[in-house]
């Protein structure tokens, strides 16, 4: 298996590990993460400080189970971020995260990120299954994941307390088609 701390190239995309980002790129990612439309669908939906974000990236250098990347296209446009979390090399599975650059006018950013994610998951990390957690009220994301072939695997009932109410988390997954 390739080191997931590396940067990768997939056709017209450069996939840059968070630990290799420049200082301005790190701040750019933090701004994306704190963008209301993204933050509101995160399990931890509070604002992330600069200090906290930099400490998180620093911690990734030693982390053997969680990996984060920024994806850029051939023109140098920033598409968004992808991550593999809870990577289990023995059982060949992981969870993933994804969010687009909310300031980009480019279309099909989500599909581009998903292509990069599948490449990292199934070609580079040689995983068998890829899973995700999504808030039950994130209908747009759920439709997107289903369009990409993910199926609902289960539900964590009243797992997150946000905006004065309990919310379920759906677990969705996909298998490597090899």
Domain boundaries defined on the chain: 8-175
What's the pLDDT score for residue 167?
Answer: 94
Helix (H, G, I), strand (E, B) or coil at 160: strand
Tokens of 62: 């030693």
User: Is 3.40.630.30 the CATH classification of the domain at 8-175?
Assistant: yes
pLDDT mean over 40-65: 94
71: nearest Cα among 10, 121, 23: 10
pLDDT at 1: 59
Q: What is the pLDDT of residues 114-160, one digit of tens each?
A: 999 999 999 999 999 999 999 999 999 999 999 999 999 999 999 99
R_g (Cα) of the chain, nearest Å:
16
């Amino acid at each position: 298996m390739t080191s997931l701390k590396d940067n990768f190239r997939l056709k017209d995309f450069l996939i840059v590990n968070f630990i290799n980002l420049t200082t301005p790129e790190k701040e750019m990612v933090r701004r994306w993460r704190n963008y209301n439309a993204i933050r509101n669908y995160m399990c931890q939906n509070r604002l992330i400080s600069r200090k906290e974000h930099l400490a998180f990236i620093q911690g990734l250098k030693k982390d053997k189970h969680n990996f984060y990347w920024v994806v850029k296209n051939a023109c140098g446009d920033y598409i968004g971020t992808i991550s593999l979390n809870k990577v289990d090399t023995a059982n060949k599975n992981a969870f993933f995260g994804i969010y687009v650059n909310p300031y980009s006018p480019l279309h099909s950013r989500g599909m581009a990120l998903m292509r990069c994610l599948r490449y990292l998951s199934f070609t580079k990390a040689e995983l068998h299954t890829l899973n995700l957690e999504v808030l039950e009220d994130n209908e747009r994301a759920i439709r997107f994941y289903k369009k990409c072939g993910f199926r609902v695997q289960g539900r964590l009932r009243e797992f997150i307390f946000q905006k004065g109410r309990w919310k379920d988390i759906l677990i969705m997954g996909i298998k490597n088609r090899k």
